[in-house]
Structure 1
């Protein structure tokens, strides 16, 4: 079952200790375990951890990337009223 997060919930997950979450569109992804696998390097994910990374994501990726990793990394959605 998918969990619903507020923007504040996601913002609290910005380091490896609490987990690193990002928002892409209305979905929340836990990228904590993906940091070392990210082809663009860990620095990029660390910079957007706890934030809405939609603009940055779509600048460098296409929909096939979401399809490939979504099942593994998606942990929920952002509350409608909290969308950025």
Structure 2
């Protein structure tokens, strides 16, 4: 079963030691992917700790997520209670 991670928890992972992003409902640990990213590490660092869905789909096709998603995905976004 996939780990459930809140958006607040993702937001804590935005430095050199640990970087997470959200794409759709998936949470991805991009910490060790920075140097592999064809577009460079700079954009990933800028998106770390955030929901990168809109930016991701603007520049990537479904095949990119299929290729890299399996090794980078660490969980899904946990639904938070709405008040």
Gaps of 5+ in 2: none
Q: CA deviation at 1:2?
A: 1.5
Name which one, 1 or 2, has greater alpha-carbon Rg.
Answer: 2
- 2:5 aligns to what? 5
Q: TM-score of the superposition, structure 2-length normalised?
A: 0.93
* In structure 2, C-alpha distance between the alignment counterparts of 1:35 and 1:20, rounded to whole Å: 9
Q: TM-score of the superposition, structure 1-length normalised?
A: 0.92
- 1:25 aligns to what? 24
- 2:50 aligns to what? 51
Divergent runs of 4+, >2 A: none
How many residue pairs were aligned?
A: 81
